């Protein structure tokens, strides 16, 4: 039997955006479906807002909502406003009109309110989808690749809105994504999922620090057309000369060494034109951990 998820053990806190970061097929949607009661787990226990997702599924459904990327939000022949009204009535929300007006405003959908949903662009369809996800004021919002296929501005709008909502309401978001930069930007903590297993879980900052020995820097020096092939007193540098610039690449062992390097170069008469620190990204973290787990399998 193939296990889509294997020995997952996670706790998501209030006021937190928790990111589940993984490639296609890693098991992200499977986990979201189990937690949102759309799929029964074959084994194991999961609780949402204190409710057992199998034994108390009705209670779970009352406190959650789910928005997935790349899905059609509701009914194409209904207008934007009618779609939100329809879903508000499924939840039996009293005085939904005010709430719908607020969501239309927040999602910058007011001018499209009376347009049939099928006429919206992909980005605005997803704004409607997100508005639908907030209609029952969920305690926990599941966002399964919510910015899939969106352009930069639409994706940014959605990320900003979600981040403000979590911070102002002390609610929780479980966000899945394969966009590393997205997880880095808005997630308080991130778990990397690979072949159904969690292989790392921490804040983006600490995950990056855990591979920080790989920090490198590139220093550009103006060389007035005279190539520099070595710098006396400095070992382990890679030097490249282009168009009057010498590019010095160096691996940094500790954060402080960049300042030592810069003062050394300055004191020895080199004219520094730029310094670029290549700090590790979540992508580097992902590659490091996923690579490690592949090695584990082979041994």
Ligand X SMILES: Nc1ncnc2c1ncn2[C@@H]1O[C@H](COP(=O)(O)OP(=O)(O)O)[C@@H](O)[C@H]1O
Beta carbon of residue 83, minimum distance to ligand X (angstroms, whole number):
25
Report DSSP letters for the chain, one per residue.
---SS-S------TT-EEEEE--TTSSHHHHHHHHTTSS--SS---EETTEETTTTHHHHHHHEEEEETTS--S-TTSBHHHHHHHHHHHTT-TTHHHHHHHHHHHTT-GGGTTSBGGGS-HHHHHHHHHHHHHTT--SEEEEESTTTT--HHHHHHHHHHHHHHHHHHT-EEEEEES-HHHHHHH-SEEEEEETTEEEEEE-HHHHHHTTGGG-EEEEEEE-TT------TT--S-EEEEETTEEEEEEE-SSTTHHHHHHHHHHHTT-EEEEEEEE---HHHHHHHHHHHHHHHHH-
Q: Is residue 83 within the footprint of ligand X (CB under 6 A)?
A: no
Number of residues that bind ligand X (CB under 6 A): 9
By rule CB under 5 A, what string of x and - marks binding of each residue 2-41 to Mg ion?
Answer: --------------------------xx------------
84 binds ligand X (CB under 6 A): no
Query: Quick one: which segment of 21-29, 163-171, 181-189, 244-252 binds ligand X (CB under 6 A)?
Result: 21-29
Cβ at position 39, least distance to Mg ion in Å: 12
Number of residues that bind Mg ion (CB under 5 A): 2
Q: Report which of 143, 176, 177, 157 is spatially closest to residue 67, judged by C-alpha positions.
A: 143
Select from Mg ion, ligand X, none the partner in contact with residue 22, using the beta carbon and a kind-dependent cut-off of 5 to 8 Å.
Answer: ligand X
User: Any contact of residue 224 with ligand X (CB under 6 A)?
Assistant: no
| Distance between start and end Cα atoms, the chain | 22
Q: Which residue number places its CB atom closest to Mg ion?
A: 29
**CB under 6 A: which stretch of 22-30, 129-137, 151-159, 227-235 binds ligand X?**
22-30
For ligand X, give the closer residue by CB, 120 or 191. Answer: 191
Piece of 20-28, 126-134, 213-221, 248-256 that binds ligand X (CB under 6 A): 20-28
- Which residue, 49 or 197, is less far from ligand X as judged by CB? 197
Give the residue with the Cβ less far from Mg ion, 16 or 144: 144
Question: What binding mask, one character per residue, do residues 26-65 give for ligand X by CB under 6 A, x or -?
Answer: xxxxx-----------------------------------
- If one asks whether residue 143 binds ligand X (CB under 6 A), the answer comes out as no
Which positions lie near ligand X, rule CB under 6 A? 4, 22, 24-30
């Amino acid at each position: 039997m193939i296990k889509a998820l294997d020995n997952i053990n996670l706790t998501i806190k209030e006021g937190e955006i928790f990111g589940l970061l993984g490639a296609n097929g890693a098991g992200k949607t499977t986990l979201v479906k189990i937690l949102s009661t759309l799929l029964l787990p074959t084994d194991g226990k999961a609780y949402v807002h204190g409710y057992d997702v199998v034994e108390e599924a009705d209670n779970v459904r009352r406190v959650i909502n789910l928005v997935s990327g790349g899905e059609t939000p509701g009914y194409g022949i209904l207008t934007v406003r009618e779609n939100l009204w329809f879903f508000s009535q499924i939840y039996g929300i009293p005085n939904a009109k005010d709430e719908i007006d607020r969501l239309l405003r927040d999602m910058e959908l007011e001018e499209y309110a009376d347009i049939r949903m099928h006429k919206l662009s992909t980005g605005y369809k997803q704004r409607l989808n997100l508005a639908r996800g907030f209609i029952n004021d969920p305690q926990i919002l599941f966002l399964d690749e919510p910015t899939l296929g969106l352009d930069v501005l639409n994706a940014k709008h959605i990320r900003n809105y979600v981040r403000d909502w979590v911070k102002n309401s002390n609610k929780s978001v479980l966000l899945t994504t394969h966009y590393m930069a997205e997880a880095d930007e808005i997630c308080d903590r991130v778990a990397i999922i690979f072949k159904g297993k969690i292989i790392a879980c921490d804040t983006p900052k600490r995950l990056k620090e855990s591979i920080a020995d790989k920090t490198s820097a590139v220093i550009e020096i103006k060389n007035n057309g005279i190539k520099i092939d070595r710098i006396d007193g400095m070992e382990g540098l890679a030097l490249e000369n282009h168009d009057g610039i010498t590019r010095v690449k160096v691996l940094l062992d500790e954060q402080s060494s960049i300042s030592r390097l810069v003062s050394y170069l300055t004191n020895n008469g080199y004219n520094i034109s730029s310094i670029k620190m290549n700090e590790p990204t979540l992508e580097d973290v992902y590659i490091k951990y996923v690579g490690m787990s592949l090695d584990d399998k082979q041994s």
